[in-house]
Amino acid sequence: MTTFQMGLTIAVCTAATMLTRFLPFLIFSSKDQQPPEVVQYLGRVLPAAIFGTLILYCLKSVTPFAGSHGIPEAIAIAVTIALHWWKHQTLVSITGGTVCYVLLVQLVFA
């Protein structure tokens, strides 16, 4: 890939990302216009569905009969839940759980 092609690729990806991020705000920018009911429904249910999918994906290879028996995963999940109950900040709880898991796997269950 030439430098021009790389720059063009980055520009197109940036424009597409910005369009998909800004378009809903442009469409529903009027104060009296509300998003369709299906959009409101998806806004309510998708966060929980995405987190559920993420949890299943992260735990799919945990085997309680081998290795660390899922102990670091269970501790990290408990830390994530505790942080979320305490702070009610999604990024804090995800970051805290991830850091806890990485530290456990690298230092304790190595």
The mean pLDDT value of the chain amounts to 91
Output the pLDDT for position 65.
86
Share of the chain above pLDDT 90, in %: 61
| Average pLDDT of the residues in 71-82 | 94
Q: What are phi and psi of 64, to 5 degrees?
A: -70, -10
Query: Quick one: CA torsion of 86, 107, 55, 74, rounded to 10 degrees?
Result: -70
| Average pLDDT of the residues in 82-108 | 94
Q: Residue 30 pLDDT more than 80?
A: no
Best mean pLDDT range from 4-18, 25-39, 41-55: 4-18
Output the pLDDT for position 20.
93
Task: Count CA atoms within 13 Å of residue 64 on its CB side.
Answer: 1
Residue located via tokens 């991020």 = 21
Output the pLDDT for position 95.
95
Share of the chain above pLDDT 70, in %: 100
Q: Residues with Cβ < 8 Å from 77, sequence gap 6 or more?
A: 55, 97
Provide DSSP, 11-59.
HHHHHHHHHHHHHHHHHT-SSSPPPPHHHHHHHHHHHHHHHHHHHHHHH
CA dist., res. 96 & res. 22, Å (int): 30
CA dist., res. 42 & res. 26, Å (int): 19
Instruction: State pTM to two decimals.
Output: 0.63
